[in-house]
Amino acid sequence: MTQTEPLSSQVEDVATGEISARDLASKVFETMPLLGRTLRRERLDGTGDFQRIHMLKHLMGGPQTQAYLAESLQMNPPALSKLIDSLEQKELVTRAIDPEDRRRMVITLTSGGRDFQRRMRAQMMDSVKRTLKTLSPEERATLSAALDIVAKLIETGKADHREER
């Protein structure tokens, strides 16, 4: 299979099992930046910063420690601190010492941060929807099924345990 083959041919290869796990992994890693570029083109209300939006998403469930956010976002503490500073300046989050353990910092989403995150998510969804709207119903169904499989693999941890085929 080559990269210049039409999508329908590539989908048939996947459906018939003719694509190796390595080739499929390559396709995933080649596709993700394209999605990112599409979203960056939208500039996301002028932010263009996915780390901010991803961090705000983590905070939608409630306050989180700075250490948890660093691990979840896979950021080093100085970079995370700088990100939190920028979000504090925009009044999207607050940072406070954890009353139960004064060595920890707790980051909380403000109501403005919650509104901002919702707007950004809606804007990203609209951008992706415009792109996906060009697919045929069959292509959308295939993509949906494939994404369900990837999510299941990741959630169950099987992605790390399957042998390459």
Question: How far is residue 51's CA from residue 113's CA, in Å, rounded to a whole number?
Answer: 14
Residue whose tokens read 């041919």? 9
Distances in whole angstroms, Cα of residue 68 to Cα of each of 63, 88, 90, 142, 149: 10, 18, 22, 35, 28
Helix (H, G, I), strand (E, B) or coil at 159: helix
Residue 140 is part of a domain; what is its CATH number? 1.10.10.10
Summarised one tens digit per residue, pLDDT across range 60-108 is 999 999 999 998 888 898 999 999 999 999 999 999 999 888 999 999 9
Closest by CA position to 117, among listed 33, 10, 44: 44
145 within domain boundaries: yes
What lies within 8 Å, CB to CB, of 67 at 6+ separation is: 104
147 within domain boundaries: yes
83 within domain boundaries: yes
Summarised one tens digit per residue, pLDDT across range 26-56 is 887 787 777 766 666 655 555 546 778 888 9
| Distance in Å from the first CA to the final CA of the chain | 15
- DSSP 8-state code for residue 156: H
112 within domain boundaries: yes
118 within domain boundaries: yes
Residue type, 72: S
Looking at the structure of the chain, the number of domains it has is 1
2 within domain boundaries: no
| Burial class for 162, CB neighbours closer than 10 Å (0-12, 13-18, 19+) | exposed
Closest by CA position to 122, among listed 36, 44, 38, 41: 44
Residue 95: per-residue pLDDT: 95
pTM of model > 0.75: no
Q: Which domain holds residue 109?
A: 48-155
Residue 18: per-residue pLDDT: 73
Strands laid side by side in the 64-65 sheet: 64-65, 105-109, 93-97
132 within domain boundaries: yes
86 within domain boundaries: yes
Helix (H, G, I), strand (E, B) or coil at 85: helix
